[in-house]
A and B are shown apart, each in its own frame.
Chain A
Amino acid sequence: MTARLALRKVVMTLALPVVLVAAWWIATADSTSFFWPPLEDIVRTFPETWTADRWLHDVLPSLGRLGIGYAVALVAGIAFGTAIGLSKTLRALTEPTLEFFRAVPPPVLVPVIALFTGYTSSLSKVGTIALGCVWPILLNAVDGVRGLEPVLLDTAQTYRLGRWRRLTYVILPGASPRIVAGARQALSIGVILMVISELFGANRGLGATIVQFQRSFAVPQMWTGIILLGLIGVALSVLFRLIENRVLAWYHGQREIERGA
């Protein structure tokens, strides 16, 4: 019986994707349209387009910049967010300003940062990613800290937990579900900025390569780039979920129990 259920689940998961890919394959099989080359051609072009050299000089550096920028945003966002969340005065002082900076669409950071560092330096790209990613993390950290159960804080105080212990055992874990939610939003902004930060000036990188294909009308290659970028997006979200499930295992468990009750 369980084997049948498992089989059913596999069929349910794979059925639609298989149908869609097959439809794409068949619909474009004899395509002579310039923009929609046969999927077969795209698949065949994939390995010859994304060679070891491209991975080494375009794809991996892009991902590296994303990683560094994202890490900076995480540290800064959690640090400042926690500090602001803990102080009522600081919160009142910074709230309108933060509301404004959060509302600025992150891509406009690219030309602004380019004023300082030009378009091609790594610093400008990492800076763009970090500056764009920091707001959702910071604001969620503020909300997370502010939404802490007062009983928890009072208990911590009653037990005379020190500042540091209160922070690491009560405040940060308590705020972590919100921080993770912010980090997830930030990740998709980070991917967008990773691509956009490479689109101006003479650049190398994943985004720059794909646009290069488009400008030189190498359409099948461009499609492989779109697919690769899509796969990277999916891979990052799977990775994020794995990490999240570890970090928030206690929280998900708690929610499950609350729901069952």
Chain B
Amino acid sequence: MSTTIPVAGPAAARARSAPARRTRASRVSWTDVGLGTLGALVVVGVEELITRTGIVDASYLPPFTTILGELGHQLGQPEFWQSFGQTLSGWAIGLAIATALGVTVGVIIGSVPLLRELTASTIEFLRPIPSVALIPLVVLLWGTRPASSIFLVVYAAVWQVLVQVLYGVADVDPVARDTARSYRFSRWRVARSVVWPTALPYVVTGFRLAASVALILEITSELIIGVPGLGRDIGVAQSSGAVAKTYALVIVVGLIGVAVNLATRYVERRVLSWHPSMRRAV
């Protein structure tokens, strides 16, 4: 079973590093914030300098202020917000389907040892298949309709959830399970009050991983297939020579990524506030 350890790794590592993160989150150090801002400003400043002085050709990389101006202009365009909404809705729908599917299938397979044994090899085989391999197929089936991107998002994200749920269900304390049986808990009751709380941290980890993978695949399918959204706009801007717009949209997509990371971490803290890994070290 040695292969199971690395996958459970994030959860285990999180459990270990959580108290440190907790203190960091609750006691924001102003020196750190200052240094962080300074670091970002240095990057922006250096970029501005090398482009203004012509060390890097501005037709490849415009100065940051130009990109920022373009970004401001974009924020006033209804087309931008339409693409923004399309990207977010594709991401959210795909992620919701993947999570629901992963949790349901994971709990069912995980609770039945025979199913677990039977499906292990198939899951191990299907999981590493790169979802981009399916791009040609979805193009033929759905073209540039949102179904294409949603299919790819679901395929890529569902494994993250499923595998984590499987480890979570396997992690149930045998003593707790036996105790529940001694008290003649019904199947449903066991699932709800023994299996689910144990599996929840894993589910949340899976959800966090799935959320960022889903965003990657949503943008990819927009960029590659041409499903409407910010990814397609980046491709169009690049090929039509709108360099500043290309960078402005890349920054927007990056910020969406940051927002997704922060939001999932927040959800994690909220949902697992009762869990030992999240509690403040006394």
Of A177, A188, A226, the contact of B128 (CB 8 Å cutoff): A188
Give the contact-size bracket for chain B.
Answer: 35 or more
CA distance A116 to B239 in the complex (A): 13
Residues of B within 8 A of A102 (CB): 257, 261
Residues of chain A in range 179-228 having any CB-CB distance to chain B below 8 Å: 180-181, 184, 188-189, 191-192, 195-196, 199, 207, 210-211, 213-214, 217, 219, 222, 225-226
- Assess whether A92 is in contact with B253, with CB atoms less than 8 Å apart: no
B36 at the interface (CB under 8 A from A): yes
Residues of A within 8 A of B219 (CB): 105, 107-108
Q: Which residue of B lies closest to A245 (CB)?
A: B2
How many residues on the A side are at the interface (Cβ–Cβ under 8 A)? 69
Q: Which residue of B lies closest to A241 (CB)?
A: B3
A32 at the interface (CB under 8 A from B): no
Which applies to chain A's interface (DSSP): helix, strand, loop or mixed?
helix
How many whole Å from B119's CB to the nearest CB in chain A? 6
Residues of B within 8 A of A180 (CB): 6
- Assess whether B254 is in contact with A103, with CB atoms less than 8 Å apart: yes
Of A177, A207, A241, the contact of B132 (CB 8 Å cutoff): A207
Residues of A within 8 A of B260 (CB): 103
How many whole Å from A253's CB to the nearest CB in chain B? 9
A244 at the interface (CB under 8 A from B): yes
B231 at the interface (CB under 8 A from A): yes
Chain B window 28-60, contacts with chain A (Cβ cutoff 8 Å), 1 for yes, 0 for no: 010110011111100100000000000000001
Residues of B within 8 A of A189 (CB): 216
CA distance A219 to B137 in the complex (A): 9
- Assess whether B39 is in contact with A103, with CB atoms less than 8 Å apart: no
- Assess whether B129 is in contact with A100, with CB atoms less than 8 Å apart: no
A1 at the interface (CB under 8 A from B): no
- Assess whether B36 is in contact with A95, with CB atoms less than 8 Å apart: yes
CA distance A188 to B133 in the complex (A): 12
CA distance A111 to B35 in the complex (A): 32
Chain B residues within 8 Å of A, Cβ to Cβ = 2-3, 5-6, 9-10, 13, 16-17, 29, 31-32, 35-40, 43, 60-61, 117-122, 125, 127-137, 139-141, 212, 215-216, 219-220, 223-224, 231, 234-235, 238-239, 243, 246-247, 250, 253-258, 260-261
- Listed by A's residue number, 6 A-B pairs whose Cβ atoms lie within 8 Å are A95-B36, A184-B6, A196-B132, A211-B136, A217-B140, A222-B137
